[in-house]
C-alpha cells in the first residue's frame, strides 16, 4: 500500500477515481486510519468525494468505531443531496451507526429510504442484535418478511444471535427449518456456527450437537462454540473429548479456544489440567498468552486457594494488564472469603482505574460475605 501511495503522489493529476482506489485499498486491507488520512489529503487536493468514497470511509469508521468522523461523513452526504438516494450507501451508514452503538440513528437512516433491500434490513437487524436489543431485532426481522423480503444467510445469522440471547428456542427452531428448506447450511460455515450457538445459548446441547454433526464444514470457530457450550454447563469431560476429536481432524486450536479450555478447568476446579493447557498453549501450539489467558490461570490458582501463585503471575505480567488481572483476583477473593488479599487486589485495581464501578462492587461483596 505504501508503494500505491508513492505512485499516487507522482501522478501529475489525481482525480476521485484515483483517490477512491487508494482509500478502498486501505480499507480492504484493514488499514482504516490510513484510509481516513488519505481522505483528508484528497480534500486538501480539492477533490470532492463521491458515493464510492463515502462507502469506503464509512466502512473504515464502522470498523474502528469512529462515531464522530462517521457523523461528519453523514452530514456531508446529506449536504451533497445523496442521503436516501443509494441503498448501498444507506446500508453503509446504517452499519456505521449500529457498530458505533448508535442504533436510533441507524433506524433514522433506515426510515429515510422508501425502497430497501435485504442488505439494508440485515444491517439494521444486526445492529439491534449486537447492541442487545434482541426483541427489536426480532420485530425488525418480522417486518422484513412482511414486506416481502427473503432473508439471506447473513440475515439468518444475525437473527439467530437474537434468538439465542432471548432463549427463543421456538422461533429459533422455525428459522432452522427455513434455513434447511433453502439448503443454506451446505455452503455457509458462519450460518452453521450461528445455529449451533443459538441452541447452545438456549440450553439445548443435544440439538446443538446434532446440528454440528450434520454440518459439512466445521472450522475451529464452530468447534469453539460447541465446546464453550459444554463448558458452560459443566461437561468438562466432553470438552476435552471434543478438543481431542478436533485435533484428530487436523485442526489447530486458536487463542479463543484456549480461553474456553482454561475457563472450563478453572470453574471445574481442575488446577493441574489448567496448568497443563496453559503450558501447552505456548510450548506446543505456539500461542502467546493474552491477558484473558492470564486471567483464567489466575482464577484457577485463586479458586484452589493458591493465592501466592496468582500473585506471582500478576507480578510478572505487563502493568498495562493490571486492572483486568487484579479484578479477576478480586472476584476470586470473594469466592474464598479472603478479605486481606481482596483489599490488596482492590487497591491495585483502583490504582489502575479509579472509575471502574465493578471494582467497588466486588469489594463491597467481599465485605458482605465475610
For 157, the domain range is 116-166
Q: What is the mean pLDDT of the chain?
A: 89
Residue 133 belongs to a domain? yes
Boundary (domain end) residue, out of 136, 151, 166? 166
Confidence of residue 86 (pLDDT cuts 50, 70, 90): very high
Residue 107 belongs to a domain? yes
Percent of the chain with pLDDT over 90: 71
- Asked if pLDDT for residue 370 goes beyond 60, the answer is no
Please, which residues have CB within 8 angstroms of residue 141's CB and are 6 or more apart in sequence?
125, 151, 155, 159, 162
pLDDT in tens, 73-82: 999 999 999 9
Q: Which of 220-224, 264-268, 350-354 has the lowest mean pLDDT?
A: 350-354
Confidence of residue 307 (pLDDT cuts 50, 70, 90): confident
- Residue 25 sits in the same domain as residue 67: yes
Q: What is the pLDDT of residue 360?
A: 61
Q: What is the pLDDT of residue 191?
A: 95
- Residue 106 sits in the same domain as residue 162: no
Q: Which residues of 112-149 are buried (b: 16+ CB within 10 A; e: fewer)?
A: ebeebebbbbbbbbbbbbbbebbebbbebbeebeeeeb
- Residue 56 sits in the same domain as residue 88: yes
- Residue 10 sits in the same domain as residue 110: yes
Residue 23 belongs to a domain? yes
pLDDT in tens, 18-36: 899 889 999 999 999 999 9
To which residue does cell 487436523 refer? 250
- Asked if pLDDT for residue 324 goes beyond 90, the answer is no
Find out whether 32 and 60 touch, Cβ atoms under 8 Å. yes
Query: Mean per-residue pLDDT for 143-158?
Result: 95
Angle at 236 between CA 232 and CA 242, to 5 degrees: 100
Q: What is the pLDDT of residue 195?
A: 97
- Asked if pLDDT for residue 107 goes beyond 80, the answer is yes
3-state secondary structure string across the chain: CHHHHHHHHHCCCCCHHHHHHHHHHHHHCCCHHHHHHHHHHHHHCCCCCCHHHHHHHHHHHHHHCCHHHHHHHHHHHHHCCCCCCCHHHHHHHHHHHHHCCCHHHHHHHHHHCCCCCHHHHHHHHHHHHHCCCHHHHHHHHHHHHHCCCCCCHHHHHHHHHHHHHHCCHHHHHHHHHHHHHHCCHHHCHHHHHHHHHHHHHCCCHHHHHHHHHHCCCCCHHHHHHHHHHHHHCCCHHHHHHHHHHHHHCCCCCCHHHHHHHHHHHHHCCCHHHHHHHHHHHHHCCCCCCCHHHHHHHHHHHHHCCCHHHHHHHHHHCCHHHHHHHHHHHHHHHHHHCCHHHHHHHHHHHHHHCCCCHHHHHHHHHHHHHC
Residue 120 belongs to a domain? yes
Q: Which three cell numbers stand for residue 125?
A: 437487524
To which residue does cell 460475605 refer? 369
- Residue 102 sits in the same domain as residue 146: no
pLDDT in tens, 327-344: 776 676 666 666 666 666
Query: Mean per-residue pLDDT for 297-308?
Result: 88
- Residue 57 sits in the same domain as residue 100: yes
Q: Which three cell numbers stand for residue 168?
A: 427463543
Q: What is the pLDDT of residue 39?
A: 93
**Domains in the chain: how many in total?**
2
- Residue 4 sits in the same domain as residue 97: yes
Residue 260 belongs to a domain? no
Residue 208 belongs to a domain? no
C-alpha 290, offset from chain centre: 16
- Residue 106 sits in the same domain as residue 148: no
Give the pTM: 0.83
- Residue 38 sits in the same domain as residue 123: no
pLDDT in tens, 112-136: 999 999 999 999 999 999 999 999 9
Residue 239 belongs to a domain? no
CATH number of the domain enclosing 35: 1.25.40
Boundary (domain end) residue, out of 75, 90, 115? 115
Confidence of residue 190 (pLDDT cuts 50, 70, 90): very high
Query: Mean per-residue pLDDT for 186-192?
Result: 88
- Residue 74 sits in the same domain as residue 148: no
Residue 25 belongs to a domain? yes
Query: Mean per-residue pLDDT for 52-76?
Result: 96
- Residue 127 sits in the same domain as residue 63: no
Query: Mean per-residue pLDDT for 41-69?
Result: 94
Amino acid at each position: 500500500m505504501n508503494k500505491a501511495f508513492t505512485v499516487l503522489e507522482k501522478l501529475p493529476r489525481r482525480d476521485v477515481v484515483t483517490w477512491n482506489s487508494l482509500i478502498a485499498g486501505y480499507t480492504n486491507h484493514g488499514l482504516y486510519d490510513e484510509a481516513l488520512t488519505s481522505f483528508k489529503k484528497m480534500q486538501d487536493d480539492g477533490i470532492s468525494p463521491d458515493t464510492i468514497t463515502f462507502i469506503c470511509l464509512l466502512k473504515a469508521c464502522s470498523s474502528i468505531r469512529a462515531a464522530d468522523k462517521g457523523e461528519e461523513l453523514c452530514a456531508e452526504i446529506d449536504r451533497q443531496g445523496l442521503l436516501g438516494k443509494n441503498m448501498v450507501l444507506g446500508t453503509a451508514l446504517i452499519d456505521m451507526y449500529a457498530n458505533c452503538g448508535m442504533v436510533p440513528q441507524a433506524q433514522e437512516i433506515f426510515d429515510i429510504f422508501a425502497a430497501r433491500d435485504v442488505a439494508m434490513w440485515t444491517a439494521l437487524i444486526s445492529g439491534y442484535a449486537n447492541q442487545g436489543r434482541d426483541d427489536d431485532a426480532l420485530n425488525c426481522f418480522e417486518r422484513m418478511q412482511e414486506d416481502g423480503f427473503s432473508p439471506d444467510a447473513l440475515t439468518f445469522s444475525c437473527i439467530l444471535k437474537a434468538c439465542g440471547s432471548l432463549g427463543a428456542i421456538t422461533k429459533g427452531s422455525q428459522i432452522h427449518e427455513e434455513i434447511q428448506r433453502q439448503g443454506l447450511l451446505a455452503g455457509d460455515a458462519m450460518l452453521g456456527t450461528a445455529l449451533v450457538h443459538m441452541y447452545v445459548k438456549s440450553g439445548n446441547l443435544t440439538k446443538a450437537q446434532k446440528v454440528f454433526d450434520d454440518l459439512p464444514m466445521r472450522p475451529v470457530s464452530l468447534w469453539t462454540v460447541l465446546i464453550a457450550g459444554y463448558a458452560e454447563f459443566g461437561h468438562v469431560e466432553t470438552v476435552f473429548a471434543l478438543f481431542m476429536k478436533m485435533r484428530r481432524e487436523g485442526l489447530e486450536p486458536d487463542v479463543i479456544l484456549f480461553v474456553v479450555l482454561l475457563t472450563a478447568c478453572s470453574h471445574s476446579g481442575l488446577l493441574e489440567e489448567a496448568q497443563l493447557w496453559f503450558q501447552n498453549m505456548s510450548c506446543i501450539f505456539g500461542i502467546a498468552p493474552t491477558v484473558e489467558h492470564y486471567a483464567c490461570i489466575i482464577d484457577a490458582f485463586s479458586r484452589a486457594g493458591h493465592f501466592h501463585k496468582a500473585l506471582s503471575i500478576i507480578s510478572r505480567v505487563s502493568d498495562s494488564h493490571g486492572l483486568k488481572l487484579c479484578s479477576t483476583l478480586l472476584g476470586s477473593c470473594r469466592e474464598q472469603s479472603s478479605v486481606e488479599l481482596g483489599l490488596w487486589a482492590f487497591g491495585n485495581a483502583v490504582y489502575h482505574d479509579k472509575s471502574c464501578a465493578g471494582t467497588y462492587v466486588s469489594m463491597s461483596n467481599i465485605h458482605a460475605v465475610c
